[in-house]
Amino acid sequence: MTGVRAQVNLLVATTTAVVLAAFLAPLGVVLRMTAEQRAIADATTRAQAAAALVAVGQTPRDDEVALTVFYSDGTTVGAPARRGPAVELASRGEAFAARTTGGVEVLVPVNGLSTGTPVVRVFVPDSSLHSGVLRSWLLLAAVGLVLVGLSLLLADRLGRRLVGSVTALAATADRLAAGDLTVRAATTGPPELQRVAAELNRLAARIGELLQAERDEVASLAHRLRTPLTALRLDIDAVRDPQERARLGSDVEALIREVDELIRTARRPVRAGVHPQADLVAVVAERTAFWSALAEESGRPIELALPPGPAVVAVPAPDLAAALDALLGNVFSHTPDGAPVKVSVTATADRCVLRVEDGGPGFPVASKPSHDDTTGSTGLGLDIARRTAEVAGGTMGLGTSPLGGALVELSFPTTPGPRDRAQPAMIVTPP
């Protein structure tokens, strides 16, 4: 049995049952003994009344009990019974009750007669000894069950309140983890849970303060970095050599993009939350539609291949869009006009793969694109794409496309519970 509520119910039920058993079991034994003593006392009274009649020479009769009179001459009157050792002992003048087969016999001697000492015997069967005991036990058992039921009802109400308070705290923590820093826990329930709720609220407030401080620091960093970059750009404009001015300007633009990416990375925890996710198919469709206008102007045929359903990956949608924009930007910057482009997504039970292919010159032979390659590329787009894949636990691969140019492949793990999908349906966007 699991769950706090179930464990509280089990504990209360077990404790109540043990207490009731410790109380009701001795009580049941006392009721049994009391019933026996009552039956023996009633039989003794009847035997004494019969002995009084025998003493005055009358013959006693009692149809309600098995009454027998044993005379000293060996004759018996009343219910048939064997003259056993107990009767012989009672004929010596001692009254007592003795256990016999099937019940108890009460023996009362009649003293003071000149003809001997008759003995009056009243037999009490076991059914009379325990009359009403079973009903009393059943009543006690019913009372015990009612008490256990009441205790379970009270325990369930207590457990429901306790579990409700804990569940509310867990829901508040989940919303905080999802990035909702305005949520606060209700300080209700037991004092201990009230203290936990208060501390959780303090933690939420502190997280908000820290995130605000981080955003302020990022804004300050951006301002401090962009100011000297702007001055540097103005200085470059004063360079007389056009080629040197173009080369330095390209380097400054690459540095500005690096700064922008640094700021974007620093702000990612605020934007993404703890459990980010996005539909890769929807993001790719939206960004490809955005780039299709530029593709049409440059005469580039762009082909889009997507699966029929969603492909959810553990990456924020803005990061996916930034990675795809960086890759498509590289294609448009480093391939001639008219070079074909293909963007595709495939999804399996555990992986989602994004491929960007082009019909350009491809990557340098025996060289991996980097910040200082000879093609003029800064490598920033590939670096953005690589980090986006690695943050989600994926990988980036480079190769040669069947179109003749470069192939960039980003592989992402799917989120829990993906469904197998068919092969992607081809959608062709004309140039």
CATH number belonging to domain 179-274: 1.10.287
- Answer yes or no: same fold for 179-274 and 278-429: no
pLDDT in tens, 184-239: 888 877 788 888 889 988 988 888 888 778 777 766 776 677 677 777 877 787 88
Q: How far apart are CA 429 and CA 294, in angstroms?
A: 12
Q: How far apart are CA 180 and CA 184, in angstroms?
A: 10
pLDDT in tens, 283-337: 999 999 999 888 888 888 999 999 988 888 988 888 888 889 889 888 888 888 8
Classify each residue of 409-422 as buried b or exposed e, where b means 16 or more C-beta atoms within 10 Å of its C-beta: bbbbbbbeebeebe
Whether 285 contacts 308, CB under 8 Å: no
Res 412: pLDDT: 92
Q: How far apart are CA 306 and CA 424, in angstroms?
A: 5
- Domain ranges, ordered by start, for the chain: 4-133, 179-274, 278-429
Res 319: pLDDT: 84
| DSSP 8-state class, residue 337 | T
pLDDT in tens, 126-163: 888 888 888 889 998 999 899 988 988 888 888 777 77
Q: Does 253 have pLDDT greater than 80?
A: no
Say which CATH superfamily domain 278-429 falls into: Histidine kinase-like ATPase, C-terminal domain (3.30.565.10)
The model carries a pTM of 0.44
Nearest Cα neighbor of 354 from 424, 279, 412 is 412
